[in-house]
Amino acid sequence: MTAAPLDEDGLIARFFAPIAGPGGLGLRDDAAVIAPPAGHDLVVTVDALVAGGHFFADDPPAGIALKALAVNLSDLAAKGADPLGFTLALALPAGWTADWMGCFARGLGEAAAAHGCPLLGGDTVRAGGPLTLSITAFGAVPAGRMVPRTGAGPGDRLYVSGTIGDAALGLKLRLAGRGAPEGQAHLLDRYLHPRPRLALRAALRRHASGAMDVSDGFVGDLRKMMRASGVAATVDLGAVPLSEAARRFIRDDASGFEVAVTGGDDYEILASVPDAEARAFEAASAAAGVPVAEVGRVGEGEGVAFRGRDGGAVDFARGAFSHF
């Protein structure tokens, strides 16, 4: 198929201006306007995704758009921030089509509307390499209430939302060309369509001492958070929440558990919660419709000790997805 006969201005006007929010000024200016609510801090996060590294080039364009926005919204959720808007930098390889772009923009607009995070602007360029997207998302949090990665303290309980490992196992299925065995379509869907846990942001602001999203693997991200906080942790691997589809996978493939806890793309929330706030956090999470599981405790020192179902120490050759 031939490239769409549109210049940059035409591309923006046709596909992106219709989904832009008011702060984007119709995408006719060189900048956008953001007005955080009074008494709030601005929270900013950015993630880049590259075809062949973070998604497959032949993934549905609407799904690529959803994932690009969702991974940023997951970071905002972990900080307890309410979305305000986002910008998009899009590097397009030769051969893109109007049909592809229409599906991408439609998916992006639907995801933005669903999460209350409008498009504010961005940039489009021609790429010599694979399709590359970079989104910068903006959020607001009551002044001084952002939940930092560095806040975990001795005695805190460690929680994780949802289930761990579905997306990593879905990717393993995809790479093996195995399609979706009976009952396991859920795993492929979790890889294609992350679900940012924005519903948890109020519970995190009220009750958590620290938090981060699990994007590069539960084991590695937990180690990052403990290292950043200057503390240690003990984790019960038997308490890590797994979906029924993941359990079925692991029953058939013993290596699946390590893939599940070290693979990326979960986009769940890892939170440290002071003991006195634990029950209130659990109740607030349940009220928000997001399941959370207690998986360990924070202590003095450094490092993370992982315990298996038999109580014995477990180590992992691979800790997390690496971007380099």
The pLDDT value given to residue 128: 84
129 appears as a binding residue in the annotation: no
As a whole-number percent, the residues of the chain with pLDDT over 70 amount to 94
Residue 85, exposed/middle/buried by CB under 10 A (0-12, 13-18, 19+)?
Answer: buried
What is the CA 254 to chain-centroid distance, rounded?
26
213 assigned ligand-binding residue: yes
47 marked ligand binding residue? yes
Within 88-148, residue ranges assigned H as helices are: 98-115
Residue 267 has pLDDT above 50, yes or no: yes
Residue type present at position 165: G
Please write the tens of the pLDDT for every residue from 242-251.
999 999 999 9
| Per-residue confidence band for 273, with pLDDT thresholds at 50, 70 and 90 | very high
When pLDDT is averaged across residues 20-30 and rounded to a whole number, the result is: 87
Please choose, from the candidates 139, 178, 158, the residue with its C-alpha nearest in 3D space to the C-alpha of residue 232: 158
Structure confidence by residue, pLDDT tens digits, 105-150: 999 999 999 999 999 999 998 888 899 999 999 999 999 999 999 9
What is the token pair recorded at 157? 């309980």
Three-state secondary-structure class, residue 171:
helix
**Which residue do the tokens 């940039």 mark?**
123
Closest C-alpha to 264, from 187, 165, 161? 165
216 is in an annotated binding site: yes
30 assigned to a ligand binding site: yes
Amino acid (one-letter) located at 168: A
Partnered with residue 42 across adjacent β-strands are 140
Q: Which residue has the higher pLDDT, 30 or 276?
A: 276
From residue 78, give the alpha-carbon distance in Å to each of 13, 181, 204: 33, 33, 8
Please state whether the predicted TM-score (pTM) of the whole model is above 0.85: yes
Instruction: Provide, rounded to the nearest whole percent, the portion of the chain with pLDDT above 90.
Output: 72
Domains annotated for the chain, with CATH where assigned, are: 8-142 (3.30.1330.10), 149-314 (3.90.650.10)
Cα angle, residue 278 at apex, residues 273 and 153 outer, rounded to 5°: 25
Question: Does the annotation list 136 as a binding residue?
Answer: no
Task: Report whether 263 contacts 168 (CB < 8 A).
Answer: yes
State the Cα–Cα distance between residues 220 and 320, nearest whole angstrom.
4
Judged against a pLDDT cut of 90, whether residue 26 lies above it is answered with no
138 is annotated as contributing to ligand binding:
no
Tell me the per-residue pLDDT of 155-165, one tens digit each, with 9 for 90 and over: 999 999 999 99
Please check if 58 is assigned to a binding site.
Answer: no
Contact (Cβ atoms closer than 8 angstroms) between residue 232 and residue 301: yes
pLDDT, mean over the chain: 91
How does DSSP assign 83-104, residue by residue? EEEEEEEEEEPTT--HHHHHHH
Q: Is the pLDDT of residue 79 over 50?
A: yes
Contact 206, 280 (CB under 8 A): yes
pLDDT at position 283, please? 98
- What is the rounded distance in angstroms from the CA atom of residue 68 to the CA atom of residue 85? 14
Comparing 92-101, 180-189, 211-220, the range with the smallest average pLDDT is: 180-189
- What pLDDT is recorded for position 323? 38
Judge whether 229 is annotated as a binding position: no
Q: Tell whether residue 45 is among the known ligand binding residues.
A: yes
Q: How confident is the model at residue 94 (pLDDT cuts 50, 70, 90)?
A: confident
Position 180 scores a pLDDT of: 59
User: Quick one: pLDDT band at residue 322, thresholds 50, 70, 90?
Assistant: very low
pLDDT digits (tens, 9 = 90+) for 208-258: 999 999 999 999 999 999 999 999 999 999 999 999 999 999 998 888 999
Contacts of 301 (CB under 8 A, 6+ apart): 231, 232
The DSSP letter of residue 36 is P
Amino acid at site 63: G
Residue 122 annotated in ligand binding: yes
